[in-house]
Amino acid sequence: MGNKQTIFTDEQLDAYQDCTFFTRKEILRLHGRYHELAPHLVPMDYTNEPDCKVPLSLIVNMPELKENPFRNRIVESFSEGGDGNLSFNEFVDMFSVLSEMAPRELKAIYAFKIYDFNVDNFLCKEDLEKTLNRLTKEELTPEEVELVCDKTIEEADLDGDNKLSFADFENMISRAPDFLSTFHIRI
């Protein structure tokens, strides 16, 4: 196309286009945003795949994530070691999954990861309580929290083990009409 950008090689851009839901322009714009987070850390030239990671504290200050009660969990779920420091690959991956073109199944997988606070691949009662407290800013009484968590598990648990496995979660999400529109960050 004759773009004079020198940030990525054409092959890299093609790879990103095939692996995410973004176009060329959007990927370059994302790189601009990533660079803005830590201008001294992030090189402008990505042609030789530099290995730099932006720390968690800088990423959660992005305006799109700043007010989200799950911002730490979101960033941790997409990072490689679960520590929250994202390389550019992971950064793009995160916004790709949260974009509006990602299919329901893919979003459900990452939503499950986000709500799983203790990373045991189950949504147990403690995970639900933490989720609920973050959602309502701890304004519910402990009895109400207990009641709501019990009701949630009762509604969604299919195999009767008092916690939600991924299959339970996905089954419940498939019945939610608003999931695709709410699990969506515009960047």
- Contact between 51 and other proteins by CB under 8 A: the answer reads no
* Subset of residues 74 to 113 that bind other proteins, contact rule: CB under 8 A: 80-82, 87, 89-90, 92-93, 96, 98, 102-103, 105-106, 109-113
CB of 90 to other proteins, least distance (A): 6
d(CA 49, CA 12): 9
Tokens 């504290």 belong to which residue? 57
Closest CA to 131 of 169, 93, 103: 169
Q: Which is nearer to other proteins, 40 or 79 (CB)?
A: 79
CB of 36 to other proteins, least distance (A): 18
Amino acid at 53: K
* Subset of residues 134 to 163 that bind other proteins, contact rule: CB under 8 A: 135-137, 139-140, 144, 147-148, 151-152, 155-156, 158-161
Q: With CB under 8 A as the rule, give the number of residues binding other proteins.
A: 82
Using CB under 8 A, which of 29, 126, 142, 167 touches other proteins? Answer: 167
* DSSP secondary structure letters along 97-145: HTSTTS-HHHHHHHHHHHH-TT-SSSB-HHHHHHHHHHHHTT-S-HHHH
- Contact between 171 and other proteins by CB under 8 A: the answer reads yes
